[in-house]
Structure 1
Amino acid sequence: MDRRHISSGSPFETQIGYSRAVVVDGWIFVAGTTGYDYETMTMPDDVATQRANTLATIGRALAEAGATLDDVVQARYILPDRADFEACWPVLSAAFATARPAATMFEARLMTPEMKIEIEVVARQPG
């Protein structure tokens, strides 16, 4: 089995013991990703900025694995307040317009109260 670990540089990966993504036999499993700005290690206040940061972090992990958001086959959205989800639809719809992954939204508390969205995806390397 061919396995490769991808890191975003987040200190949480080392502290908690996980990888941003794991590539196994052409499959890419991207860990639940929140809206941290990893350059400043700050969490924006609003769900829109957090969503943008989350998709950017996922996009970078997929790129390192040789894929894009267009290769996503499954997405899981976790929000502590389901009322915030509808505001995310236009951007998520655009981000996954080609992939149209199987998707599920959960309402659940996240690791810290300032987190407003977490996204986890599974993708398949093209080719």
Structure 2
Amino acid sequence: AKMMSFVPLLLVGILFPAIQAKQFTKCELSQVLKDIDGYAGITLPEFTCTIFHISGYDTQTIVNNNGSTEYGLFQISNKYWCRDHQIPQSRNICDISCDKFLDDDLTDDMMCAKKILDSKGIDYW
């Protein structure tokens, strides 16, 4: 009878998948990020390692940090780079809603990460 308790949970997982959140593996992430390799002088392994330390490769990571909030895989801050309800007067340099960094489409995340690398370099992280 113990096995039966897993069946309903399994069905719920199949019928109601999460909002396309993704926990990447290192290999998957390397594939997605390969066009950032060498960008601003940062190697892919260095960038992958940095991302692991800040978000554990989980797109749904949200960290509150001294009155600002950082979103997603790249932990992009609502103070300068994206806009949310917490800081409506954000500079919003990437011209995007912060919650866009929580899904599994990394296209917009990477565009913003490149802007951050352009202006702050890897030291941002």
TM-score by length of structure 2 reads 0.29
> Structure 1 or 2: larger strand share?
1
Q: Which has the higher contact order (CA 8 A, sep 6+)?
A: 1
Structure 1-normalised TM-score? 0.29
Could you say which structure has the larger radius of gyration?
2
